[in-house]
Structure 1
Amino acid sequence: MSKGKSNAYFNGVPDSIKKEIICISWMVEGSLPFRYLGVLIKTTRLSAQDCKPIIDKVVDRIRVLGARKLSYAGRLVLVKAVLKTLHTYWASMFILPTRACRPRDEGGLGLKNELQWIKAAVGKLVWWIATKSDHLWVRWINHIYIKDKAWQTYTPPQNTSWYWRRVCRIRDLFIEAYQQNQWMTQQGKEYTIEKGYDFNRDKSPKVNWYNMVWNKWNIPKHSFISWVYHHRNMNTMEKLYRLEISEVDTCCLCKNSIETIDHLFFQCQYSQKVVNCVGNRIGISLPHHDLLTRRTRSHGSKIEKGIIDATINACIYHLWRHRNQSRIDLTLIHPKKVAHQLLEELQKRVAAMVTTSIREKDRKFVQHFMEI
């Protein structure tokens, strides 16, 4: 222990004993609040100002990584891979503000529901108490609060700290799992935050387009726009007109009909020409009326299905991209040129993803795709 970096903190200790401890340890008496490993230690509830360091760290990471130049898909990766670790570190100690998301196979973006994640993080403390884990904090809790009472039925007094009462309320969320011994260490099922989160969160029905949108052959930005499309949440001209944002509701590509999602991707003559050009070049008839029919009717290998799905997602992305470009600069690229750009982008993705250990049939399909 470094005496120069250590302080002694007291609460409810007589001055005589306090002076004796300081004399023996040669430490300086500290005062609350203070920071330990970047975490604020205080006896009262955290305020918005107390949470500012975690906000500053998130902002610093975003600025360093140049997130302003990232696409929506790139920002999603940034949040999941980098920023979430900061949130997990703090959530295991404090109860923080929240936002909600769902897993990818349930129609979400794969981000965590922060409210449930915070509860699962605090649930680890509950698990330590339930298993009488060898931690100083657990021993202190048992000596001061629980004593000889059963943890499952323990009720905290009203004069205890707000944080301890919150821990007890979170215990009640996981009481069923503890009673069923789902996470008992002797059965090899020790509690983890991930398991606690999955146990406590609200489940949603599985979506049938999950594998199509999120397969590994897709370019991430294509997957994101396809995800928005499947949720039917695109700002088409019909929607903008209905919200009184635009004065017109005609299609930006064909200029003939009202621009709805169904029209833009299935009925628009320009869109049909682009899809037909792509289908003719790869030798596959792509559907116009339902993009999912290609998925349900294909009988090829996993690699073939993945590349075809990536092609469909690329069609959705490029049609939406050129629709936006047409709305801004009032110009329209020839459908064959759009198809060429689309396939050229996909070929680079396939070249980066393909490995040498693939079957001969798949190798021929990939070779044909790269030569079109």
Structure 2
Amino acid sequence: MGKKCKDPTLSASGLDMNKEKSDIYFNGMQHGEIEHILNISGFKPGVLPFRYLGIPISCKRMGIGDCTRLVEKVVARIRGWGAKKLSYAGRLVLIQAVLTQLHTYWTRIFIVPVTVIDRIEGVCRNYLWSGSEQYLRTPTVAWEKICREKKEGGLGIVNSRHWNTAMIAKYTGWLATKSDHLWIRWVDHIYMKGRGWFDYCPTANTSWTWRKICQVKDQVKLGFSNGIWTCTQGEYNVASGYKWLMGQQQPVLWYPLIWSKTIIPKHAFIGWLIVQERLLTKDRLLKFGVFNDGLCEFCQDQLEDHRHLLIEAKVPCPRWIIQKVKYDIQARCRDRAWALKIQKFPWEPSYD
């Protein structure tokens, strides 16, 4: 069989198999048959587990020890000197473009252990707020809220647990529609034996991976109606499955104001903290025991909270700065009703 596959490939592309870099793996075969195949092919026998494109390949379930390298890759990107010098906005970009992409690649293929996902999310959360993989300060905003889309008040970071579930749920979509896949036919013959997919319950002697797929089926089956994925009124796709698991929320009114393309990302992040009322003002630090009193440093009269510090504080702020900020916000705000609210906002500070 190997020779039959090898000859057409060699004649069509001129490329031959490298026996030094190729292994062959056996399972459930007699020793004599294995020796016969090795003599014909010229390959050397491989041993499980092994890595292919950085992914551990094994006949057993993936354990926490198999994912150690994944966690180490995420931490290594953070420990570089360049990553430690980034601002909040720079850390956010690094998390979205690099750190989350490292483990979302794994979640496309495997059911990653929950402990590993929690560890990676913890590293990303610590890095966002402290610039280190270690827990050095209390997070300012809850991670569940950060994983929301920006138009829903979050930062758009992928929720790894829901993303892993959405990726594995694609098998549920295939089984619901009886897709023409060899794996689907094999599963139907070995496990389901002609029974309906959404009524099927796995037995205790089935594999761990198959039981996990059935658990994912129980999580997403409310999104199916007669085998049709209701979000798309057709076949299941990962993007719609992830949104369904995250749940839809109403867009926040300040989304076009904070995340405008004309605003510097560093300033947009600080603006996002302001609308969340999560700046480290004295009223918040007082709860943590950092200060003995929460009086404003400028007026020494009222409690320093977000509204007092940004609007009501007796700071000799030049009038032209206030007018410029007001004009810029009104120009960038697309919602006319919101623009009218901004126009009526008490922008003038009190100096009494």
Return the TM-score normalized by structure 2. Answer: 0.71
Residue 18 of structure 1: how far off its partner (Å) = 3.4
CA shift, 1:281, in A, is 5.2
Letter of the structure 1 residue corresponding to residue 211 of structure 2: R
Structure 1: distance between partners of 2:32 and 2:288: 72
Cα offset for 1:275? 6.8
Q: 1:208 to 1:286 in 2, by over 3 A?
A: closer
For the pair 1:239 / 2:284, whether they are aligned, the reply is yes
Instruction: Tell me if 1:55 matches 2:96.
Output: no
Aligned position for 2:262: 217
Q: Within the alignment, does 1:107 sit opposite 2:145 as a pair? A: no
Of Structure 1 and Structure 2, the greater helix share is in: 1
Gaps of 5+ in 2: 1-16, 122-143, 348-352
Q: Which residue does the alignment assign to 1:298?
A: 339
The structure 2 residue matched to 1:162, chosen from 208, 226, 235, is: 208
Same amino acid, percent of matched pairs: 38
Count of aligned pairs: 294
Alpha-carbon offset, residue 76 of structure 1: 0.8
Residue 86 of structure 2 aligns with which residue?
Answer: 70
Could you tell me which of 225, 228, 231 is aligned with 2:273? Answer: 228
2:25 and 2:47 in contact (8 A); partners too: yes
1:173 & 1:122 partners in 2: Cα distance? 11
The one-letter amino acid of 1:119's match is: T
* 8 Å CA contact retained: 2:177, 2:227: no
Q: Deviations over 1:28-79 (max 9, x none)?
A: 2222211111111223343333212212222333355822111111111111
- Which of 310, 321, 332 matches 1:278? 321
Structure 2 counterpart of 1:121, one-letter code: M
Could you tell me how far apart the structure 2 residues matched to 1:24 and 1:127 are?
41
Deviations 1:158-200 (A, max 9, x none): 112211100111122232444355459xx99543321210122
Q: Name the CA shift for 1:27/1:154 in 2 (closer, same or farther; >3 Å).
A: farther
The CA deviation string for residues 284-317 of structure 1, in whole angstroms up to 9 with x for no partner, is: 5989xxxx9x974537xxxxx9xx9xxx9xx9xx
The answer to whether the Cα contact below 8 Å between 1:116 and 1:197 also exists between their aligned partners in 2 is yes
Q: Distance in 2 between matches of 1:281 and 1:102?
A: 31
Superposed displacement of residue 234, structure 1? 2.0
TM-score by length of 1: 0.68
5+ residue gaps in structure 1? Answer: 300-304, 316-372
Residue type of the alignment partner of 1:232 = E
Give runs of aligned pairs for residues 15-94 of structure 1, distance below 5 A.
15-63=31-79, 66-94=82-110
Query: What amino acid is aligned across from residue 298 of structure 1 in structure 2?
Result: A
Q: Tell whether the 8 Å contact from 1:9 to 1:30 is kept in structure 2 after alignment.
A: yes
Report the alpha carbon displacement of residue 279 of structure 1 after superposing the two structures with TM: 3.1
> Which of 230, 236, 245 is equivalent to 1:191?
236
Maintained 8 Å contact 1:128/1:138 = yes
For 1:9 and 1:52, the matched residues in 2 are separated by 24
- CA contact 1:120–1:197 (8 Å) conserved in 2: yes
Paired residues of 2:176 and 2:227 also in contact (CA < 8 A)? no
CA contact (8 A) 1:276 1:286 kept: no
- Displacement over 6 Å in runs of 4+: none
- Decide whether the 8 Å contact of 1:279 with 1:285 is kept in 2: no
Distance change in 2, residues 1:283/1:22 (3 Å): closer
CA deviations over 1:254-280 (Å, ceiling 9, x no partner): 44432112211121011xx43733134
1:122 partnered with 2:138: no
One-letter identity of the residue aligned with 2:34: K
Specify the SS of the correspondent of 1:174: helix
Identify if the C-alpha distance between structure 1 residues 147 and 229 changes in structure 2 by more than 3 Å, giving closer, same or farther. Answer: same
